[in-house]
Amino acid sequence: MIKPHGSDRLQPRYVEDAARRSALLSEAAKLPSLLLNSAAAANAVMLGAGYFNPLQGYMNLADSLKVAESLVTTAGLFWPVPIVNLTKEAGIKPGRIALRDPNVDGHPVLAIMDVQAVETVSEEQLKFMAEKIFGNLDPKHPGVATFLGLGNSLLSGAIEVLSYSYFQDEFPETFRTAVQIREEIAQRGWNKVVAFQTRNPMHRAHEELCRMAKERLGADGIVIHMLLGKLKDGDIPAPVRDACIRKMVELYFEPNTVMITGYGFDMLYAGPREAVLHAVFRQNMGTDYLIVGRDHAGVGDYYGPFDAQTIFDTSVPAGSLQIEIFRADNTAYSKKLGHVVMMREAADHVAEDFIQLSGTKVRQMLGQGIAPPPEFSRPEVAKVLMDYYQSLGG
């Protein structure tokens, strides 16, 4: 199986030993505490689950600026996005503190942190990092707005994670750590594995893209890996996406060819930089390939349609990652050929030869109880989505 990024074996920060976890929780009750924001909490969950291997905790200012500028830490580790604990809270001092979960009632302890440094980040430094990560400083960009609103105090240091927040309880059949995915890949006997990232339900085009990648790469299986954390307003909630994907896989994929999994992270909407981060943690979970499609991890029109592919040519030095990228174009149903194709591979087609619907049009149809054509969306998947949109009152 492919090695993790930056080490020979995974180094998840979750405390597996129950006795030690109990002792740390007892200690946490006596420690100063910090209520995290959702972004820092999501970073803790990803560190705990092994997805951010080999990081041991949150980055300091020097590493954050270096990663933002050149995708490498001061120690030379390739890394695409700063992993930070930014806060508005004042008075935090170096030493051990309890990190509390903002996303669970009662704000239980999520992790214990050895705070090595507390640094003030200037507005200029915050904007510098945001511009590098997101490619713009537009306050309407959801990632930019979130990042610039986190605070100016940067806490760095190693953490020990004591909980996976709400993800394990709310998504017991779907949430999996990088360790668990590696174990299941081995149990299934898969030798070559492709990952598919999604924050949306999967329509026919996504389904066929997974099938194409598996066949063309000679892969044994596909890991559909869905984001389970916070999204922007208007995105479809994780339970609905989960139900759609499970129905599609149940009905339309051969047995033992697909794993349905999810991870506890908040969407960044960082386009190319987030695509590289996706590749890093898919390598950590043991997959050999990541499908990177048109406008991967994008939002609005902030990024070019294939920027998330070309960044692997322009900004990822050879040997930085072992995982490889399967580069996909838009996929759509061809009325000429009677099946889904990559549009760039259908040179004799014009726009009218494809069945394509905008997201706005699809949402309108679903809200009115009108199923999209079966060439666009499997009827059983459309039914799940119609029920959801109609529950919103259209």
Among residues 200, 211, 327, 330, the one annotated as catalytic is 200
Report how far residue 223's alpha carbon sits from residue 4's, in angstroms, rounded to the nearest whole number. 16
Q: At what angle do helices 61-70 and 123-134 cross, to 10 degrees?
A: 40
Handedness of CA 124, 127, 133, 136 (dihedral sign): negative
Give the 3-state secondary structure of residue 127.
Answer: helix
Report how far residue 137's alpha carbon sits from residue 302's, in angstroms, rounded to the nearest whole number. 10
Among residues 199, 204, 282, 294, the one annotated as catalytic is 199
Residue whose C-alpha is closest to residue 226's, from 251, 246, 254, 196: 196
User: Can 273 be counted among the known catalytic residues?
Assistant: no
Residue whose C-alpha is closest to residue 69's, from 275, 273, 313, 305: 273
User: Can 211 be counted among the known catalytic residues?
Assistant: no
For residue 390, what is the enclosing H or E element?
helix 379-391
Report how far residue 164's alpha carbon sits from residue 182's, in angstroms, rounded to the nearest whole number. 18
Q: Using CA atoms of 299, 278, 210, 373 in order, give the dihedral in degrees to the nearest 10.
A: -20
Strands (E), 137-271: 153-161, 193-198, 221-227, 258-263
Report how far residue 62's alpha carbon sits from residue 172's, in angstroms, rounded to the nearest whole number. 38
Q: Which residues are catalytic?
A: 199-200
